[in-house]
Amino acid sequence: MMRWCARCAYDGTSFYGWQSQIGGNTIQDLIEARLEQIFHHPVRIHGSGRTDAGVHAKDQVFHFDAFWNYGIPAFLRALRSGLPSGIQIWGIYPVDDTFHARYSVRWKRYIYYVYEGFPSPFQSRYVYGIGTRRLSLELLKDFGPSLVGTHDFTAFGASREAPQEDPVKTVRRLEFIREGARVEMIIEATGYLYKMVRRIAGAAIEVALGRLTSEEVLKAFFHRERTEKIVTAPAKGLFLDYVSYAEGTYQDISRPGCY
C-alpha cells in the first residue's frame, strides 16, 4: 500500500458539498466511486476539510491509501476519466505515510467574491451579485484588522457547531480587494468554524452597504454573541482557494488557470 495525495478543483453548484452523505452526489462520494472502479474495492479518501453545498474549490486536497504500479500519468488519466465535468483532478503524487490531508494542514485560504451589478450567465454561478448597490470598502477599514489574530469566533459560527469544536481560531490574513465591479474578501486561517467564512462575508457586506456598523459587528464578536444581524452570505460566492502544508510535504505544481 502507498499513500497518495491528490489536489482537485470543482464547481460546487450541482453537488451536495464535499463530505460523504446518504444519497451521494457529494465530491467525496463521486471520487470514492471512481477509485472503487479502478481498484475493484472501496477506497476511503480524507479531505483537507469540508465545503458546503454550492461552495467551490480551486485547490481541495485529499489523501488515500492504495497500491498502484503503472506510473503517475496513467493514474491521473484513470482517475480523471470517470469523474463528472464539474470535478477536475489536477495533481496526484505519492507522499509519506505520516501525511494527512486534514491534520497536516498549516492554513487554508478562502476567497469570497461579490459582484456589484448583475453578473453575466458565465459568472452568476461563482459570485454573489448585489444588483445596483455599491460596497464602501472605507467602511471596512476597522473590520478586517480587528479579526486578524487568535480570537474566539463564536459570533461567526453556525448554531449547529459541534459542542467539542474549539471556537478559538487564528486568522493570519483578512483583506478586501476591489477589481472593477468585483470585490474579493480574502481570508487565511489555521482553522474555521462551520460557515465561519460565509458569516464573516455576510457581516462585511452589511457593513460595506451601510446597513450595519463595524462597531455593532465587533461588539458581538468580542462578546461572543450570535446575532441575527450577522447573516450568512450565499454559498456560490465562496471558493476554497489554497491549502498550505509544510514545505516539501508533497511536490508543488502550478495550478491550471482557474477563475
52 vs 194: CA distance, rounded Å: 9
Q: What one-character-per-residue DSSP string does 73-122 give?
A: HHHHHHHHHTS-TTEEEEEEEEE-TT--TTTTEEEEEEEEEEESS---TT
Residues paired with 63 in a beta bridge: 5, 46
**Letter for the amino acid at 94?**
P
Closest CA to 80 of 41, 37, 25, 21: 37
Dihedral pair phi/psi, residue 222, rounded to 5°: -75, -20
Count of CA atoms in the C-beta half-sphere (13 A) of 63: 22
CB 128 within 8 A of CB 119: no
> What residues act catalytically?
52
**Residues counted in the chain:** 259
Task: Give the integer Cα–Cα distance in Å for 91 and 50.
Answer: 19
Tracing cell 462520494 back to the chain, one arrives at: 29
Q: Give CA–CA dist 144/137, Å, rounded.
A: 10
CA–CA separation, 220 and 203 (whole Å): 11
